[in-house]
Amino acid sequence: MAKKKITEVVEELLSDFLREEGYELYHSEFVKEGKDWFLRVYVDLASGEGYIGTEDCEKVSRYLSERLDEADPVEQNYYLEVSSPGMDRPLIKQEHYERYQGHEVEIKLYRGKDGTKHIQGTLTEVSGDEITVVDERKKEWHLQQSEIAKANLAVVF
């Protein structure tokens, strides 16, 4: 089964359970690292208030593990990991950028722009495929999502 299909199966298996328990699927991936395969599932609180705890991850992991055993969608051996996306959560989907508008972000670009490949500032606007980040010097960065190698919420203390 293709990688994309496995994450779609995970989404289908989890959707009702997560909604009933007050969680949401933030992101999932099926990746090979070295000789091992990992099915990583990141869950968050649907309310957006507070943080996912270890007990929450265990509950989702037990449920998903049972459903995956029943459905058996993965041919090879793999490790299942269920966790929070973390304080420095990656911005992957369009909805992530929209949700965290107004928050501090760290952006790494594929190619340098104005002499830098790293931009940190406030995500001020999301318009289609373009985002705007205002850095500490008040410079506005207009970036296409296709230019972004990696985007994360910045951890600010």
pLDDT tens column, 31-70: 999 999 999 999 999 887 788 999 999 999 999 999 999 9
Pairing state between β 79-83 and 36-45: parallel
Both 136 and 70 in one domain: the answer is no
If one counts the domains in the chain, the total is 2
For the chain, give the mean pLDDT: 93
88-119 pLDDT, tens digit per residue, is 999 999 999 999 999 999 999 999 999 999 99
> Which of 153, 71, 154, 91 is closest to 39 using CA atoms?
71
pLDDT the model gives residue 157: 76
Q: 77 and 99: one domain?
A: no
72 and 26 share one domain: yes
Its pTM stands at: 0.85
